[in-house]
Amino acid sequence: MKTYNVAILGATGAVGQEMMNVLAERDFPLNKLRLLASKRSVGKTYQYKDQVIACEEATPDSFEGMDIVLGAVENDIAEQLLPHAVKAGAVVIDNSSAYRLDDNVPLVVPEVNPQDIQKNNGIIANPNCSTIIALVAINKLHEYATVNSIIASTYQAVSGAGVPGLNELNTQVTQVMNDEKVEPQVFPYQIAFNLIPQIGGFDEMGYSSEEMKMQNEGRKILHHPELNVTCTCVRVPVMRSHSESLTLFFDKEIDVEKAKELLANADGVKLVDDPNNKQYPMPLDTSDQDLVYVGRIRKDLTQNNNKSLTLWCCGDQVRKGAATNAVQIAIEYIKQNA
């Protein structure tokens, strides 16, 4: 079997670490795994299966001989280093938002648009976490009846801000319980026992950058430039699974039973919808695994045309929202190029 040289750029972060886990779990056909990070992490070691691998400093020369580079760094570092990976001949799967809307870069959720991988010119972008979770949840419905618009309210975990976000919630909860002063550093306000309706900066209409991603990235992934999304993104004191309340408007009739039937057989989805037996998606249940849980599917009461539904879904932000989706793209890329 052919094996591949893989580098993780940003290996010490929450997403980079999870990429290592997912590569191992899925028995990725690895020849060599290179862990790239900032200078201060050089020499830090991590276990990958029975190997111990030391971090190397990420530089423009780090990508020689690599077949696949998984990017798990912020936009500025991605833009600075990833073009060198492409020049070195690697295919890059990038989790930053730097290239997502670039016409030359496919934006891929493997359950939704795997064929777009073919159009890559060296970079494939991994979508926004909330967008991935929403699209996995609705994809089979959209195949049956085109989704023309979505009203979304999100409940987003602190892991969206990486390890510092996870640490901040832990620290603040302890501070509150001990009656100590809380001094926010990662989030703009206290997140423990609070909600913050801001993720990213705001545009002139008052939408946050995170809120516009579901529309902009959704249009590209679904090849549906007319898709309209009104999204409200809210940070909640949950560790690592995002939840979303979605109301979907379709171009033709679709009832709850049909939706359940479609979702029971949807790739990447676990249908959890038996509320009378207290079965519905919850972020704790989806933490540390890859499926998007979908439930609470019901008729939208604001329309009388049977062309809209409302539902609730949850997915692990670090895994399916980032690391798992990237590794799935890598696996699909290999399959398509075998």
Choose between 276 and 338: whose C-beta lies nearer to a second copy.
276
Please give the DSSP secondary-structure letter assigned to residue 172. H
Residue recorded with tokens 């991603």:
213
Q: Is 235 annotated as a binding residue?
A: yes
Mapping DSSP to helix (H, G, I), strand (E, B) and coil, where does residue 324 land? helix
Whether 246 contacts 138, CB under 8 Å: yes
Helices 129-144 and 209-221, axial angle in degrees (round to 10): 40
Length of the chain: 338
242 is an active site residue: yes
Phi, psi of 322 (to 5 degrees): -155, -80
CB of 318 to a second copy, least distance (A): 15
- Distance separating alpha carbons of residues 206 and 137, to the nearest angstrom: 27
The count of other CB atoms within 10 Å of the CB of residue 305 is 10
Q: Is 129 a catalytic residue?
A: yes
Q: Minimum CB separation from a second copy for residue 134, in Å?
A: 14
Active-site residue (options: 129, 231, 233, 313): 129
> Is 308 marked as a binding-site residue?
no
Number of residues that bind a second copy (CB under 8 A): 60
CA atoms of 243 and 263, how far apart (whole Å): 17
Q: Confirm or deny that 156 is annotated as ligand binding.
A: yes
Binding residue per annotation — 100? Answer: yes
Q: Tell whether residue 13 is among the known ligand binding residues.
A: yes
Rounded to a whole number of angstroms, the minimum distance from the CB of residue 12 to a second copy is 24
- Letters for 287-316 (x = contact with a second copy by CB under 8 A, - = none) are --------xxxxxxxx-------x-x-x--
208 strand-pairing partners: 202
Residue 308: closest CA among 246, 263, 260: 246
Q: Is 14 in the site for a second copy (CB under 8 A)?
A: no
Q: Say which amino acid occupies 313.
A: C
Task: Report which DSSP code applies to 41.
Answer: G
| Footprint on residues 187-246 left by a second copy (CB under 8 A) | 188-190, 193-198, 201-202, 205-208, 215, 228-230, 232, 234, 236-239, 243, 245
Helix, strand, coil percent values for the chain (each to nearest 5): 35, 25, 40
Beta strand 228-232 with 147-155 is parallel
Q: Does 26 count as an annotated binding residue?
A: no
Of residues 52 and 301, the one with the C-beta less far from a second copy:
301
Listing DSSP states for 124-163 in one string gives EEPPPHHHHHHHHHHHHHHHHS-EEEEEEEEEB-GGGGHH
The catalytic position among 55, 231, 233, 242 is: 242
Q: Which of 52, 103, 181, 276 binds a second copy (CB under 8 A)?
A: 276
Q: How far is the CB of 258 from a second copy (least distance, A)?
A: 14
> Considering only 7-15, 68-76, 143-151, 316-324, which stretch makes contact with a second copy by CB under 8 A?
143-151
**Residue 130 touching a second copy (CB under 8 A):** no
DSSP 8-state class, residue 321: I
Report residue 323 CA to chain centroid gap. 7
* Ligand-binding site membership of 219 (annotated): no
Per CB under 8 A, residues contacting a second copy are 149-151, 153, 155, 169-170, 173-174, 177, 188-190, 193-198, 201-202, 205-208, 215, 228-230, 232, 234, 236-239, 243, 245, 247, 249, 256, 273, 275-276, 278, 280-284, 295-302, 310, 312, 314
Q: Which residues are catalytic?
A: 129, 242
Q: Which residues define the annotated binding site?
A: 12-15, 40-41, 100, 156, 159-160, 235, 317
Q: Which residues define the annotated binding site for substrate?
A: 156, 235
Q: Which residues define the annotated binding site for phosphate?
A: 100
